[in-house]
Structure 1
Amino acid sequence: MTLPTPLTGVVPPVCTPLTPDREVDTASLVRLVDHLTGGGVDGLFVLGSTSEAAYLTDRQRALVVDTVVRHVGGRLPVLAGAIDMTTPRVLDHVRVLAEAGADAAVVTAPFYTRTHPAEIARHFRLVADRSPVPVIAYDIPMSVHSKLGAELVLELAAEGVLAGLKDSSGAEGAFRSVLLGRRSLPTPFSVLTGSEVTADAALAMGADGVVPGLGNVDPAGYVRLYAACREGDWERARAEQERLCALFGMVTAGAPTRMGAGSSALGAFKTALHLRGVITCPTTAEPQIPLSPTETETVGSHLRAAGLL
């Protein structure tokens, strides 16, 4: 399908279910897609941070995209991450996801190497010039150690290099600058927030949609939140957002004395999906540390409090 311009609504970053031996569990992935589409989402984003893209081999990445695109069958747009350290590697991923039928490539700034802002701009221009699908910038400075400035994003948008922005920076001032600046752009430009806990505020500022990792667990909740914001029912939106904030507390289930925040959060999402009967196994990719039985029960208590278990 053609990517809507602008892309709007709830576009969850899809978890990648794994088998106990850490291969992609395609049967669980298909059930997860059905769970998300049944919740009323407007699109899907595979191979992002919540998808554990950084931990997957190129073969596994290709399998994820192919499985989701084939199962969706054009009913919803499928965005796919082409996230890697340098331009040539990103272009390899873009080729694979485009051949699989993904509707857009989601691309970060280069990382590992130290890059000048001019090199970051050149990176996006080179990728867009050779990509057969639209390119959406992914601003996630905590992972790539480069913040995409509003001025650069708007410059690339004005050139037609970028079709949109997925902002996971947490920098609300810069996010608002993009929203204000896009008013003068010659073509539509999608602005999406990656925040689970301030989605209502982003939508109030004028964001087009939300890309919440917690949306894997409760897609219908974010769909209700989005609908309330679009209807201008801010009291209902606030109540739904606060319920989701409480549910988001599951990401701290893992003890920080023995695991990182990523292991805790991704483990919580997968554990929640397992407890809800969506995926077969809550396995996370190595070297992440799995949740203990006690930590699993903490996730379950959050689900019960939210009426999801």
Structure 2
Amino acid sequence: MDRNSEKNQFRGIIPPMITPLLNEDELDFEGLGKLINHIVVGGVHGIFILGTTGESTSLPYPIRHRLVEETCNLVKKRVPILVGITDTAVSESLKLAQTAKYSGASALVAAPPYYFNLGQPELIEYYEYLADRLPLPLFLYNMPSHTKINIEPETVKKLSEHENIIGLKDSSGNTAYFNKLLFHMKDDPGFSLFVGPEEIMAETVLLGGHGGVNGGANMFPELYVKLYDAAVTGDIKKVRELHALVMNISAGLYSLGKFGSSYLKGLKCALHLLGICNDYMSSPLNKFRKEEKSRLVVNLEEIQKKLQASKILTQNKKKDQ
């Protein structure tokens, strides 16, 4: 694969899609269809399923495979689909990769296998072993808060030499780390570098990053696309305006209650209130209780007013109709 060719380069906003569920063992198929259409018509550049925001590690294996199949079927090649295959067992990652390939996905994403604290040489061995056997290109996924392993910039540089490893998604929230990645990879423009936390997406793009895998784009995709476009063109005034809206979303929807999963609870609850999909969460997580939900209703209404004032929400509604 020539990752430097234009058709193979990944750029822009690729939402980490939530997984709509009815219960522990059943997808919310109606909600899945609504969510995918809502995201795609919002102008995103791809969809990432089975990541942290998709509760991937909590889902039964049959649900993971079914989600891949149904998502690819519903998207119908309108945008590229990236599939998370993170697992502690390589065989399970490879099985899911095959489902992704047969279903029509474009690329795969894998964080380091959690539990064993791999050193950097072991991490290189693991990813090379995995990439050699994958039927699709692979994105590295740096998520040290969940895996307890940081993929060091030097390790990324080494792994980028593998022809089947084409990029990295960084969810560390560490801008110093991301800047080091940009420095180490400056001579390899075909290697895509994405950031997860939406609060720093615009600044990383301004510095040379390739886009964001931002959870808020599940709710308001056009906002994040416009922010990305403003950063790419260097429109600082527009970046400041739209970034302020993103920070309102972060403060109002992701920080309610004293939960380690407040971000995901808030995101799923908001999507439910917007009439898009169910807010059921796979164990060990649970959806917001009445108190947090009531506060989120108020905050969501305020955010919608601000988006309407910026003519973003109105445009999204027109596109969805």
Sort the TM-score into its range (normalised by shorter chain).
over 0.9
Q: Deviations over 1:124-175 (max 9, x none)?
A: 1111111110000000000111000011101111232410000001221221
Alignment of 1:268 onto 2:266: yes
Alignment of 1:47-66 (within 5 A): 47-66=50-69
Q: 1:10 aligns with which of 6, 9, 13?
A: 13
Alignment of 1:22-41 (within 5 A): 23-41=26-44
Cα offset, 1:20, TM superposition: 4.5
Q: 2:121 aligns with which of 100, 118, 123?
A: 118
Letter in 2 for 1:158: E
State TM-score, norm by structure 2.
0.89
Structure 1 stretches of 4+ with a deviation exceeding 4 A read none
Q: 1:294 aligns with which of 291, 299, 305?
A: 291
Alignment of 1:283 onto 2:285: no
**What SS does the corresponding residue of 2:82 show, helix, strand or coil?**
strand
**What SS does the corresponding residue of 1:183 show, helix, strand or coil?**
coil
Alignment of 1:195 onto 2:197: yes
CA distance in 2, matches of 1:128, 1:237: 37
Equivalence for 1:83 = 86
Q: Deviations over 1:41-76 (max 9, x none)?
A: 110000000001011011000111111101111111
User: For structure 2, which runs of at least 5 residues remain unmatched after alignment?
Assistant: 308-312, 314-321
Alignment of 1:232 onto 2:239: no
**What SS does the corresponding residue of 2:48 show, helix, strand or coil?**
strand
User: For structure 1, which runs of at least 5 residues remain unmatched after alignment?
Assistant: none
CA distance in 1, matches of 2:178, 2:290: 39
Q: CA RMSD in A?
A: 1.7
Task: Kindly indicate whether the alpha-carbon contact (under 8 Å) linking 1:225 and 1:240 is maintained by their aligned counterparts in 2.
Answer: yes
Query: Percent identity among equivalent residues?
Result: 29
Equivalence for 1:181 = 184
State TM-score, norm by structure 1.
0.93
Task: Kindly indicate whether the alpha-carbon contact (under 8 Å) linking 1:86 and 1:111 is maintained by their aligned counterparts in 2.
Answer: no
**What SS does the corresponding residue of 1:90 show, helix, strand or coil?**
helix
